[in-house]
Amino acid sequence: MTQPVQISFTETAADRLATHEGRAALILGADGKLPGRLPRALREAATRALGSKAGKALKPGQALELAFPAGLRAEMLLLVNLPAGASVSDARRAGAAIGARLGGQHMLVMAGAHKRAGDIALGLALRGYDFDAYRSKRDDDENGDGNGATPQPRVTFMVKDPESLAKSAADAAALAEGVFFTRDLVNEPANVLTTTDFADRLLAMRELGLEVEVIEEKKLAKLGMRALLAVGQGSESPSKVVVMRWNGAGDQAPLALVGKGVVFDSGGISIKPAAGMEEMTMDMGGAGVVAGVMRTLALRRAKANVVGLVGLVENMPDGRAQRPGDIVKSMKGDTIEVINTDAEGRLVLADVLWYAQQEYKPAAVIDLATLTGAVIIALGHDNAGVFANDDALADGILSAARAEGEGAWRLPLGPSYDSLIKSRLADMKNTGGRAAGSITAAQFLQRFIAEGQPWAHIDIAGVTLPPSATDLAPKGATGWGVMTLDRLVRDRFEGK
């Protein structure tokens, strides 16, 4: 997997700035003031730059770039505006401004006694992500040798108390690795990330202390997961359910995380338009988030019980594929009329949600899925849609998302929407049409939640693979949700 940049912490030594080769960043002091003991030529150049129109326009978390700065051996110096009272989000954006400019060089960051140095480091690591597994030649390959491997940069933070910061940064490193794991999964092409390859990557996390079980098609059929199996019956890749368990809190009831893992979604017989179909490699984004969260919890040895379940299928239109008009029976026993084979994710989740509740008796259930285009129409690419039958759980998710700077917005559920998924022939149909599309999808899923079971559904279709770079991620997969759910576990489910 893609590894986060190596970050080390050392005591501040201003004289190292003058002799450092590579790139450097300077976190400005209170009111944008430069720290003392800078080379005279550098101080003059930096003062002039900060007094310019661009310098005066710097907002918290933004950086001004000086190329080949006077008085330094470094090829670049970043002047980073971050007031002492800056928010966590501003600090992470400041780090991201540095991380976006690593360029394979050794980066020296002078953070001094800034209390947000840890958040700066996390933002730097997250924005420094670069998925280059399939590039044989990089755009910045100046010598033309065809070596596409990204040089692994190093980052040194000069801070007031490096030992303390290094200890607190361990959990942040685990979080960054979980986010990177999710991003890698979402960025992988479907001819590589088959259902089998996905399951193998999750099995490999046994070495971290996770209990991992792969349930194959024969057992899935015996369990009655006919809705899930119907989705994948047109694919050469076998359908699977993978269960990951982290037991860090004795005999407490676990939090169950359930993820939609459609490794490629052609739409099936209700085939999607060709334009943009290549992005349907990201339709396993919910499963990717669950996997990344489980990796993070294991790496930081979380004092919580969490079980992650992912339904891995591929939706393809061959002669065995399910058809519009088919009726399938779920593990719960409810029958579903398939109106549109492109509304397949809810069929996968229906069976896995029911299995999670029957098998693990969880304290709460949260599912994540790139479920509907309708949520993008409603919320764009800035917010995931949150639906819940439990106000406390919904509030916990929204609070965690705010704390981590990940956008989320609660949308309604209600019995009035049930009429839209009423079937003439079966207990329900799998789509209610264009009106309230993300809501009827959630309403469908709620039918597979037992009475009294706290549950939330998060539709991440708009935030998983946005059309442009975000504050903390380059263009491509964001890993949205790993930080939010890790925070939720810390705040609501982790033993003290």
Residue 169 lies in a domain: no
Looking at the fold, whether 147 and 259 belong to one and the same domain comes out as no
305-360 pLDDT, tens digit per residue, is 999 999 999 999 999 999 999 999 999 999 999 999 999 999 999 999 999 999 99
458-489 pLDDT, tens digit per residue, is 999 999 999 999 999 999 999 999 999 999 99
Looking at the fold, whether 127 and 50 belong to one and the same domain comes out as yes
The CATH number of residue 322's host domain is 3.40.630.10
Residue 152 lies in a domain: yes
| Domain end residue (candidates: 160, 184, 215) | 160
239-260 pLDDT, tens digit per residue, is 999 999 999 999 999 999 999 9
**Residue 93: phi, psi to the nearest 5?**
-65, -35
- How far is 280 from 345, CA to CA, in rounded Å? 12
pLDDT classification of 146: cutoffs 50, 70, 90: very low
Looking at the fold, whether 28 and 107 belong to one and the same domain comes out as yes
Residue 168 lies in a domain: no
Torsion over CA of 181, 182, 187 and 193, rounded to 10 degrees? 80
DSSP-assigned beta bridge partners for residue 315: 265
Residue 303 lies in a domain: yes
Residue 89 lies in a domain: yes
Residues 141 and 59: beta-carbon distance below 8 Å: no
Looking at the fold, whether 203 and 154 belong to one and the same domain comes out as no
Query: What was the pLDDT predicted at 145?
Result: 45
Percent of the chain predicted with pLDDT > 70: 96
Task: Give ∠ CA 91-95-101 in degrees, rounded to 5.
Answer: 155
pLDDT classification of 138: cutoffs 50, 70, 90: low
Selection from 310, 5, 308, 402 nearest residue 180 by Cα: 5
Query: What was the pLDDT predicted at 29?
Result: 73
Query: What was the pLDDT predicted at 168?
Result: 86
Looking at the fold, whether 216 and 147 belong to one and the same domain comes out as no
The CATH number of residue 123's host domain is 3.40.220.10
Burial class (CB in 10 A: 0-12, 13-18, 19+), 244: buried
- How far is 401 from 485, CA to CA, in rounded Å? 8
432-450 pLDDT, tens digit per residue, is 999 999 999 999 999 999 9
Query: What was the pLDDT predicted at 144?
Result: 41
Looking at the fold, whether 254 and 117 belong to one and the same domain comes out as no
- How far is 195 from 214, CA to CA, in rounded Å? 11
Percent of the chain predicted with pLDDT > 90: 89
| Domain end residue (candidates: 102, 131, 160) | 160
Q: Is the pLDDT of residue 19 over 70?
A: yes
407-440 pLDDT, tens digit per residue, is 999 999 999 999 999 999 999 999 999 999 999 9
Distances (CA, A) of 387 to 72, 413, 468: 53, 7, 26
String of DSSP letters for 121-162: HHHHHHHT----TT-SS-TT-TT-----PPP--EEEEEES-H
Query: What was the pLDDT predicted at 153?
Result: 85
Domain that holds residue 331: 175-493
Residues 451 and 265: beta-carbon distance below 8 Å: no
- How far is 351 from 32, CA to CA, in rounded Å? 56
Q: In the chain, how many domains are there? A: 2
149 or 98, which is more confident?
Answer: 98
Looking at the fold, whether 237 and 309 belong to one and the same domain comes out as yes
259-276 pLDDT, tens digit per residue, is 999 999 999 999 999 999
Query: What was the pLDDT predicted at 35?
Result: 76
Query: What was the pLDDT predicted at 257?
Result: 99
Looking at the fold, whether 314 and 395 belong to one and the same domain comes out as yes
Looking at the fold, whether 197 and 95 belong to one and the same domain comes out as no
Catalytic (active-site) positions: 272, 346
**Which helix or strand (DSSP H or E) is residue 300 part of?**
none
Q: What is the mean pLDDT of the segment spanning 268-296?
A: 98
Query: What was the pLDDT predicted at 150?
Result: 55
Query: What was the pLDDT predicted at 324?
Result: 98
Q: Is the pLDDT of residue 371 over 70?
A: yes
229-240 pLDDT, tens digit per residue, is 999 999 999 999
Looking at the fold, whether 76 and 14 belong to one and the same domain comes out as yes
Residue 1 lies in a domain: no
Residue 166 lies in a domain: no
- How far is 234 from 266, CA to CA, in rounded Å? 11
Looking at the fold, whether 205 and 131 belong to one and the same domain comes out as no
Looking at the fold, whether 155 and 180 belong to one and the same domain comes out as no
Query: What was the pLDDT predicted at 143?
Result: 42
41-75 pLDDT, tens digit per residue, is 999 999 999 999 999 999 999 999 999 999 899 99
Prediction pTM value: 0.95
Residue 170 lies in a domain: no
- How far is 408 from 397, CA to CA, in rounded Å? 8
- How far is 286 from 305, CA to CA, in rounded Å? 20
pLDDT classification of 136: cutoffs 50, 70, 90: confident
| Domain end residue (candidates: 126, 160, 194) | 160
DSSP-assigned beta bridge partners for residue 307: 245, 256
Q: Is the pLDDT of residue 301 over 50?
A: yes
Distances (CA, A) of 149 to 104, 125, 128, 354, 463: 10, 18, 15, 44, 28
